[in-house]
Amino acid sequence: MTTTHSLINQLIQLQELIVANMQKRVSQPNARLDELNKSISALSADLPQQVKSHFNRLLQKHPEAIVPIANDLCSGCGMAMAKSLVQAVHKADSMHRCPNCARYLYYPEQLVAREKVSRSYGEARKTGISRFTSPELMMVKLEGETGEEVLAEMCNCMAKEGFVEDGEHLLDLALQREAIISTAVDNGLAFPHVRGVEGGGLSMAVGISKKGVKFGGPGRTLTRIFFFVVIPTATSAFYLKLIAGLARTFREKEARDMLLEANTDEELWKALIKTTKKTFN
């Protein structure tokens, strides 16, 4: 018999596969998604029919159908939850929904608490790609020789600069996401990310590996440019637009070369601003 905990984990994993499918479609329009679609079908096959039907209906309205409670709020719609509901979700004896948006709720074991991005670079209105990243999150000389080492460097940078509270936990979440399906795409790009991280806006670190690392399994070219994104639930829909814009921009070799030729973090920041100026107004 399926326990509530295992059902919640199954829905979270299924949701990750569905979002991965969407991400692949926007970053690689011609990608073959047969295996991914098979995995989605297999994982959803043994869901209880009532849960499956409601889950699918939710996905027609929202990017996410199951969301964490954060600070006693539904992280999907922001509604404050009654203490009794928070306690019931934490106990997980049965499935619970948000009274407002009807999304399924779960209580995460640990949240990566985020500070507001404005802490680092003022309250002035930001434009373009600077709405989602900052000079402090540029890493022009990634030293890692494996995908895990590269992700650890980027997570540590985000923690050091105050964009996340726990870099090690963020790394664990990023590796769990990569285990579902690689975020590497063509042209030596990768879009590792962690979703459902509450407490701030969408934030992105950019890292360059001059020599490249194996990040997408056998047969894929080495990955040299990493866009690591931390995504609150409320910004999940926009995240796909961000990935689509970055993938479209850096399909062009000239744009990729501008990032790869940067020798300092400051040069990388300037190159990122210049190459994405037309994509993100």
**Separation of alpha carbons 30 and 190, rounded Å:** 17
CB-based contacts of 88: which residues, under 8 Å, 6+ apart? 94, 96
| Residue-wise pLDDT tens digits, 22-65 | 877 877 777 777 878 888 898 899 899 999 999 999 988 887 89
In this prediction, residue 234 carries a pLDDT of 66
Taking 3-state DSSP, the helix, strand and coil percentages for the chain, each rounded to the nearest 5, stand at: 45, 15, 40
pLDDT at 142 over 60: yes
Token look-up 């107004």 returns: 281
Token look-up 């996401």 returns: 177
Same domain, 28 and 146: no
Same domain, 34 and 167: no
In one-letter notation, the amino acid at residue 12 is: I
Whole-structure pTM value: 0.78
Same domain, 72 and 188: no
The number of domains in the chain is 2
**Separation of alpha carbons 167 and 177, rounded Å:** 15
Same domain, 25 and 135: no
Same domain, 263 and 129: yes
Output the domain CATH number for residue 12. Answer: 1.10.287.1490
Domain of 123, in residue numbers: 118-275
Element (H, E) at 69: strand 66-70
pLDDT at 112 over 60: no
Same domain, 79 and 138: no
Output the domain CATH number for residue 129. Answer: 3.40.930.10
CB-based contacts of 77: which residues, under 8 Å, 6+ apart? 98, 100, 101, 103
Work out the average pLDDT over 83-102: 93
Q: How many percent of the chain have pLDDT more than 70?
A: 88
Same domain, 163 and 268: yes
pLDDT at 10 over 80: yes
pLDDT at 2 over 60: no
pLDDT at 82 over 60: yes
| Residue-wise pLDDT tens digits, 239-280 | 888 888 999 999 999 999 999 999 999 999 999 999 999 888
Same domain, 231 and 126: yes
In this prediction, residue 120 carries a pLDDT of 41
Domain membership flag for residue 112: no
Same domain, 42 and 149: no
CB-based contacts of 197: which residues, under 8 Å, 6+ apart? 111, 112, 114, 164, 170, 173, 230, 231, 232
In this prediction, residue 16 carries a pLDDT of 84
Last residue of a domain, one of 106, 132, 149: 106
